[in-house]
Chain A
Amino acid sequence: MTPSNAPERYYNYAYLDEQTKRMIRRSILKALAIPGYQVPFGSREMPVPYGWGTGGIQLTAAIIGPEDVYKCIDQGADDTTNAVSIRRFFAKVADVETTEDTGQATIIQSRHRIPEKPLKANQVMIFQVPQPEPLRGLEPRETETRAMHAYAEYGLQYVSLYESVSAYGRIATGAGYPVMIEERYLMSPSPIPKFDNPKLNDSEAVLLFGAGREKRIYAVPPHTTVRSLDFDDYPFEVQTWEQSCALCGSEDSYLDEVDLDDAGQKMFVCSDSHHCAERREAGHAGPMAGHALDQSKEPAP
């Protein structure tokens, strides 16, 4: 372990200066005390662009310590380019062990997915959030949406869902599906597929959400009621597939569709790359087990 003031370290431990960490830490505590409420915070410029995980990175930097084991995924996969880049960043600036193993990680940073393996009490899940305001698509003004949250006036959201039902016969939102926290604050779960929404409810882990560009932090403590909005006659439902994972045969995980040629041939594979690998190691096999994609993973750094 390199002491934080060792001369060879050009930046502070975990990149952020201590004052910035304190400011973010205070925001996290307020976010936990008011579940689902968006706390404005003095987001800083990070060495990666806005929109590429700066909120999640700032949250991680504010909480991470050398005893942590860090996992970072994008679209459920550990080997997507941006996840690799962020994982490298923390390995470098925070002296942490990194892992692809969901069960081993103490901090899991994610863009667009929650791992399939149920989270545990010793884990903190950090979501990268592009747009923290669930109502932004319906009302562009922050002054208006902040007032709606202040007085819990969420009629606009229900009208929009109702319009979707009357236009398409169902609620059209497939990702970033809005949720109510403890029946008080309407919250964006970040652009996770609605498939993952049920995992937010009564979670064992602390869930933190960071939006760097929009400068907001919010949180869902463990064992908090998270309800996906719906109507009695149009109940919330998650995505399902007729196919199972081509590599591991999983029938209940979120699947990515991979085109194999220009003629419409395709395969479906788990979006959660570690979940899939773990199942294959345990001897599960799908209809295309042994396919090139199976071997495409590089060894962990």
Chain B
Amino acid sequence: MAYVSVKGGEKAISNAHRWLEEDRRGDRAIPELSTEQIREQMSLAVDRVMAEGSCYDRDLAALAIKQARGDLPEAVFLLRAYRTTLPRFGASLPIETEDMAVRRRVSAAFKDIPGGQVLGPTFDYTHRLLDFTLAANGETPIEPAPQADEPQAYPMPTIASVFRHEDLLEHEEPTEGAGEPFDLTREPMSFPAGRDQRLQALARGDEGFLLSLAYSSQRGWGSTHPLCGEIRLGEVAVEFVPEELGFPIEVGEITVTECTMLSGSSGSATRAPQYTRGYGLTFGHCERKAMSVAIVDRALRRAEIGERADSPVQDEEFVLYHSDNVEASGFVQHLKLPHYVDFQASLQFIRTLRREFFERQAAMKEAAE
């Protein structure tokens, strides 16, 4: 009764969902996780879900993680499916990352840069040794990080400002009157994609996919020889202009991670040699993701810069059509749905081909005898 099991009907579905609930809860002797605990103590998971879920709400992301039993792409899907039902009021003003209240800012391009290297909360330079004290008593005394003697530079100078006087880095001026940016949540992808469409797709894209693409580029598959110009993490204000007021009001503050990658360009007959940039921005603290996005963005600028395209990371349709994990996960997993009607068509065909194959063999054997 191979396929009959899929005809389980209503009862089977309800029961399966109850079982799922039980599994989500796990051993009832262990206290249930609160969404506040997830929000505070699994904060990087929350950040990733907000970034890929295109929805900045730490509490909803924590709820999604809890409901998804920690399966982050599933949590991203939950958050997206909620987000899509929300009414849309309009677009905020562009955030100003130059005015960021910086918690972390490092540059690999210079030993020191104006504003200084600010390490902030980072796994970098930690020794990846399991800390068994976290397991032993659940609560480890935390030694508070000391305050710096001097206040940090504000605004924190950007890598672009360091290069400005020598014109070594390409300029990126905001386009005046460019209108609203492309919005993938309301329009389907179209090609060739503008940089707004690309950066939105990458910001929503799957971290694992983008990480691997960035890595492939580093290993020579469409290399851009990137150098980490700057990574900054911190809080920025979000401003919105309500139609009825006509002036911007601050609607809140969000944490973002921004990365600028530098790549040398030898220029052309009309263009002086200069550094070009790849750019990545994500909600929350998603450093690996922001760096990957910056590398992939730069690789995808190949047409504009005049580079050959021979690697997956340089192929806009390949990268943008396959970076969304909600689409990818759904379509890969839809193979679990019954396909027996098309399979029946295929079975008939294979059986016919096999019959003809054996008839031919028999005929050849006869001829040989």
Contacts and interface: CB of A to CB of B under 8 A. Distances in A.
Q: Do A and B contact each other directly (Cβ–Cβ < 8 Å)?
A: yes
A193 interface: yes
A94 B346 CA distance: 37
B344 interface: yes
Given A41-B188, A45-B80, A50-B327, A256 B341 contact: yes
A79 interface: yes
B337 A257 contact: no
Nearest to A192: B341
Contacts of B1: 258-260
Contact of B188 (A15, A43, A130, A141): A43
Interface size class of A (residues with CB under 8 A): 35 or more
Interface stretch (B9-17, B115-123, B297-305): B9-17
A255 interface: yes
A2 interface: no
Interface in B54-99: 77, 80-81, 83-85, 87-88
A92 B348 CA distance: 40
A43 B184 CA distance: 9
Interface string A215-245: 1100000000000000000000001000000
A75 B341 contact: yes
B19 interface: no
Nearest to B353: A168
Interface string B258-275: 000000000000000000
Contacts of B172: none
A256 B340 CA distance: 7
B188 A79 contact: no
A12 B187 CA distance: 21
Interface of A is mostly: loop
B152 interface: no
Nearest to A271: B341
Contacts of B11: 298
A142 B10 contact: no
Interface stretch (B213-221, B234-242, B328-336): B328-336
Interface of B is mostly: helix
Interface size class of B (residues with CB under 8 A): 35 or more
Interface string A120-140: 000000000010000000001
Interface in B28-59: none
B4 A293 contact: yes
A54 B329 CA distance: 13
Contacts of B321: 142
A15 B85 contact: yes
A113 interface: yes
Contacts of B365: none
Most central of B8, B11, B80, B341 by chain A CB within 10 Å: B341
Contacts of A255: 344
Contacts of A85: 13
Contact of A142 (B3, B4, B317): B317
Contacts of A3: none
A169 B330 CA distance: 36
Contacts of A71: none
B344 A193 contact: yes
Nearest to B328: A50
Interface string B332-368: 1110011111101111110001001000000000000
Contacts of B87: 17
A170 B65 CA distance: 51
Interface in B166-186: 185-186
Contact of A191 (B190, B332, B342): B342
B136 interface: no
B7 interface: yes
A158 interface: no
Given A42-B186, A193-B345, A111 B329 contact: no
A49 B333 contact: yes
Contact of A130 (B187, B329, B334): B334
A196 to B, nearest CB: 9
A113 B85 contact: no
Nearest to B329: A49
B81 A47 contact: yes
10 contacts: A17-B85, A42-B185, A44-B185, A52-B330, A74-B337, A82-B338, A192-B341, A215-B189, A255-B344, A259-B1
- Which 8 A/B pairs are nearest by Cβ-Cβ distance? A174-B345, A51-B334, A50-B330, A49-B330, A215-B188, A175-B342, A51-B331, A45-B80
Given A40-B190, A191-B339, A260-B1, 19 more contacts: A11-B85, A46-B81, A50-B327, A74-B337, A76-B341, A81-B7, A88-B10, A111-B337, A112-B341, A175-B342, A175-B345, A175-B346, A176-B342, A192-B341, A193-B345, A216-B188, A258-B2, A258-B3, A296-B7
Interface of B: 1-4, 6-13, 77, 80-81, 83-85, 87-88, 185-192, 317, 321, 326-327, 329-334, 337-342, 344-349, 353, 356
